[in-house]
Amino acid sequence: MIKNKDPRVEDAQKKIIASDRGRFKLIGKPKGGKHYSWDQIRDITIQVAPELLIIDYLTLIGSYRNELEAVYDLIPKIKGLADDFGIAVMMLSQMGRSSRAAQKGGSGGHAAGGHYVEDAADVEIELLKEDTDDYTPAIVATVTKTRKSAAGGNYALGFIPRTLSFKATTTKVERAKAPTKIFNI
């Protein structure tokens, strides 16, 4: 057993950090509590040169009055950055309460400006909680939009509730219940 004070531990930690450099960088709110401007986000992205950029909250970029204003200004800029530098961009979005209750397909259009985000997206994946026959919840990822393949695939993700993590494999499944329509048109 190797102890923490062993120089091999420090050497191994340095090698791990060196191999991970550029693979993952978490950028939170800057000191002072003000949000990053778009120019700062763009500059950081260009410096780090990631293959995948994940954006959690659009409204934490800049100082917009509301989510819709942020969407209309930032989506073309994000799309341009992705196209110019060959970066894949993943934007996380939460469904509203009514959308969650209905568990319907195509969640992108349910948030403010969501249709604008959905139009710009190459792929949209919706995560839903499904009940199974043995009453254990399953997390199902549904491909609701894709430009390069067929949409509509459903995949059960091996969710481990105790650790709030996922297994590395998925299983193609059929949805237990069809998406619910909101409007009968």
Encode pLDDT of 98-133 as tens digits: 454 554 444 444 556 667 777 777 888 887 777 767
Cα separation, 108 vs 124, in Å, equals: 8
Q: Are residues 137 and 116 in the same domain?
A: no
CA dihedral defined by 72, 77, 78, 81, rounded to 10 degrees?
A: 170
**136 and 102 inside one domain:** no
Shared domain for 46 and 114, answered yes or no, is: yes
Q: Considering 74, 99, 121, which residue would you say is the last residue of a domain? A: 121
CA distances from 68 to 46, 118, 123, 126 (A): 26, 13, 21, 21
Q: What is the pLDDT of residue 2?
A: 58
Domain count, the chain: 2
Q: Are residues 92 and 42 part of one domain?
A: yes
pLDDT score recorded for residue 84: 92
Whether residues 87 and 154 fall in one domain? no
Q: Are residues 134 and 106 in the same domain?
A: no
28-37, 77-86, 170-179, range with greatest mean pLDDT:
77-86
Residue 107 structural domain = 30-121
| Residue 105 within a domain | yes
More confident: 20 or 122: 122
Same domain, 109 and 169: no
pLDDT confidence tier of residue 178, bands split at 50, 70 and 90: low
Answer yes or no: do 130 and 52 share one domain.
no
Give me 152's structure tokens: 């509509």
The answer to whether residues 111 and 129 belong to one domain is no
Q: Judge contact between 119 and 94, C-beta under 8 A.
A: no
Per-residue model confidence (pLDDT) at position 24 = 64
Same-domain check for residues 116 and 60:
yes
| 48 inside domain | yes
Residue 173, in any domain of the structure: yes
Q: Is residue 184, in this structure, part of any structural domain at all?
A: no
* 139 belongs to a structural domain: yes
| 4 vs 15, residue with greater confidence | 15
pLDDT higher than threshold 70 for residue 5: yes
| Inter-residue contact 145 to 158 (CB < 8 Å) | no
Instruction: Answer whether residue 69 is part of any domain.
Output: yes
Q: Are residues 97 and 36 in the same domain?
A: yes
Same structural domain for residues 150 and 168?
Answer: yes
The mean per-residue pLDDT over the stretch 24-36 comes to: 71
- The structure tokens listed for 179 are 């998406």
Residues near 14 by Cβ (< 8 Å), separated by ≥ 6? Answer: none
Name the residue with higher pLDDT: 132 or 39. 39
Report if residue 12 sits inside a domain. no
- Evaluate whether residue 24 is within a structural domain: no
Q: Report the Cα–Cα distance between both ends of the chain, in Å, rounded.
A: 68
